[in-house]
Amino acid sequence: MALRTKKAHPKRKPQLRKRVISDATLSDDSDANSEPPAKKKKHAKEVLMETEKVDLTKRKLLLNIPRALELGNQCVEFTHATPFSVALAVIHSTIGCTDFNRKPDLSYKLGNDTKAAPAMSLTSGINWKGSLDDVRQAENAKKAGTVIPVMIHVTDQYLASVAAKSGKNKAPTAKKGKKAPILDLDHAGTDDDDFDEDLGGMEKETKFMEQLDNMYGHCQACGPTKFCKITVASGKSEIL
């Protein structure tokens, strides 16, 4: 009997499995290879609003205040929660004008401002709030922890007048070596009453007569040769 031999079956070729790529895979790969979106630069007001969330009582504020009775300025530390009334009292005390009725017209510049930058008014609570906003905006643009001082400005004539009235210094000096008038610090807002202590008797009398003429010498009823004023009670001209 003949033996049966098994036929060798031909080797099957291995089938390659197709990789199915889903949309999710494509989106993941594309996101991985793509560049991250650029961060949107925050506007200065947005940065300022974020900093307002910080406790203002812990944020340092430095004021550089001039002194009339001492050499140089004095740096005084406040916080951003300090009210204007408190800061103003300290400014006047540092200048040395607390006991005078006439107070200086204050202005300010930031410590990093250029010399050509104009000084800003600091005569009200609104100005004070504006100065604090300016400081915070300038500091936020710098390295964290940077403190920019506020430079308080007062006219040289006022500082010299305070010194002269306090007996600490001579009268203020204007350009070309001529002495500038000493301000009348005992009366608030009396620019017409500023005087020079070195004027002679005749010069002072002439100046005072000019002031009287400007104040009482323009009555249409009495004419330019008489000084008169309108009384509050009668409303009529009264010869002085």
Cα–Cα distance for residue pair 174/176, rounded to 1 Å: 7
- Are both 215 and 103 inside the same structural domain? no
- How does DSSP assign 168-185, residue by residue? SS---B-GGGPBPPBP-T
Say if 220 falls within a structural domain.
Answer: yes
pLDDT digits (tens, 9 = 90+) for 61-90: 999 999 999 988 999 999 999 999 999 999
DSSP state of 115: T
- Are both 142 and 227 inside the same structural domain? no
- Are both 104 and 220 inside the same structural domain? no
> Does residue 105 contact residue 91 with C-beta atoms inside 8 Å?
no
Q: Residue 210 sits in which domain range?
A: 199-240
Cα–Cα distance for residue pair 29/110, rounded to 1 Å: 51
If you average pLDDT over each of 11-15, 121-125, 236-240, which comes out highest? 121-125
Asked which of 73-77, 97-101, 213-217, 233-237 is least confident by mean pLDDT, the reply is 233-237
Tell me, what CATH number does 162's domain have? Answer: 3.10.20.90
If you average pLDDT over each of 5-14, 48-57, 176-185, 191-200, which comes out highest? 176-185
Residue 240: pLDDT band (50, 70, 90) is very low
Our separate counts of H helices and E strands in the chain read 6, 7
Residue 229: pLDDT band (50, 70, 90) is low
- Are both 178 and 69 inside the same structural domain? yes
Model confidence at 115: pLDDT above 70: yes
Percent of the chain surpassing pLDDT 90 = 40
pLDDT digits (tens, 9 = 90+) for 10-21: 556 555 555 555
Please tell me which residue, 123 or 198, carries the higher pLDDT value: 123
Please tell me which residue, 28 or 106, carries the higher pLDDT value: 106
Half-sphere exposure of 79 (CA within 13 A, CB side): 8
Pure H helices in the chain: 23-33, 44-51, 84-95, 125-140, 156-165, 201-216
pTM, two decimals, is 0.57
| Tokens 């403190």, residue located | 147
Say if 2 falls within a structural domain.
Answer: no
Model confidence at 190: pLDDT above 80: no
Residue 134: pLDDT band (50, 70, 90) is very high
Percent of the chain surpassing pLDDT 70 = 51
Query: pLDDT at position 236, please?
Result: 47
**CA dihedral over 229, 235, 237, 238, signed as positive or negative:** negative
Cα–Cα distance for residue pair 146/141, rounded to 1 Å: 9
- Are both 191 and 209 inside the same structural domain? no
- Are both 155 and 68 inside the same structural domain? yes
Tell me how many domains the chain contains.
2
In one-letter notation, the amino acid at residue 214 is N
Strands of 11-95, DSSP E: 60-66, 73-79
| Tokens 């089938």, residue located | 15
Interval 29-35 mean pLDDT = 53
Asked which of 97-101, 149-153, 226-230 is least confident by mean pLDDT, the reply is 226-230
Query: pLDDT at position 144, please?
Result: 86
- Are both 186 and 216 inside the same structural domain? no
Cα–Cα distance for residue pair 161/173, rounded to 1 Å: 10
